[in-house]
Structure 1
């Protein structure tokens, strides 16, 4: 876990350095569609049988105004099991949500909900929800932190009573 934390701390530092070199975020002409590619790493919640999580995603941001955007994301997430506490849990999350920009630089608040489709045979889908905050630069760089909960069906062969993570996401997006 310490190695993952160090990697993300270094990546966040490099991102912040790049973000400060970029020009200030302005959302005056923010209407349009953005395509983004991101990576994330997370620390599972207390009591979880997992030691860390990581993933990648591809997302669309439909900018309705300076203050509001709708999101649609899909990707891959893997929760790695602690030694002797079962198997890894891998799934494909598909989520929709909203980003609210309070007009403080590129700061945003986000919320998403959707489903995770397990990659293991006979795994049932999971309900996924997340909330977070982040910063998006005018140059397209994005850093965000979120809590993501995963609620599985008890009848799934991958069922775990405790699933969820606190995650850091680094991404780059561009206007289409």
Structure 2
């Protein structure tokens, strides 16, 4: 499983890097700037201890070119427990990432990495997070699907759908 995770990370980074290889040469006059987005996330958890995940996030994005951006994301995610022997787990993710649009289309690939800080029900563990995803974005709406690995929380992963509203700052 760890080998597959590493392969997935490498594939996302390779596609993200290749998607922009020729575009940056012609984007010299692009008005670089910041965007801010507010999103809602919901999805399934790959561990039997939890039913589903739900949360919200805030993403600051700096556009390097028309096709590439750097991101900083934080928010709150709650993993809802299935059994009485487990408690719900809430954590604050703090992630940095890279977003690359494919051939100047509204479709993109994205990779993020960072940490998750448990904040509820007596959990006090911090976990490493890595999160590849794909999505569609226009001037205001961002719709994406991602896998978020939160391994230290009972060897869990989250497959989530994100719907966000974003705007230029």
Q: TM-score, normalised by structure 1?
A: 0.75
Partners of 2:123 and 2:44 lie apart in 1 by 26
Q: Which residue in 1 is equivalent to 2:72?
A: 72
Q: Which residue in 2 is equivalent to 1:168?
A: 161
Unaligned runs of 5+ in 2: 1-26
Partners of 1:143 and 1:73 lie apart in 2 by 15
Q: Which residue in 1 is equivalent to 2:39?
A: 38
Unaligned runs of 5+ in 1: 1-26, 153-158
Report Cα offsets for 1:10-68 as digits up to 9, x if no partner.
xxxxxxxxxxxxxxxxx9846211000000101111x4310000010001011001221
Q: Which residue in 2 is equivalent to 1:132?
A: 133
The CA RMSD over aligned residues, in Å, is 1.8
Partners of 1:146 and 1:30 lie apart in 2 by 28
SS at structure 2 position matched to 1:62: strand
After the TM superposition, list the runs of 4 or more consecutive aligned residues in structure 1 that deviate by more than 6 angstroms.
Answer: none
Q: 1:103 offset after TM fit, Å? A: 2.5
Q: Which residue in 2 is equivalent to 1:13?
A: none
Partners of 1:122 and 1:40 lie apart in 2 by 21
Query: Which shifted more, 63-72 or 113-122?
Result: 113-122
Report Cα offsets for 1:100-157 as digits up to 9, x if no partner.
111352111000010111113451211111001000013x1010000010021xxxxx
Partners of 2:92 and 2:126 lie apart in 1 by 9
Q: Number of matched residues?
A: 141
Partners of 1:39 and 1:30 lie apart in 2 by 28
Q: TM-score, normalised by structure 2?
A: 0.78
SS at structure 2 position matched to 1:48: coil
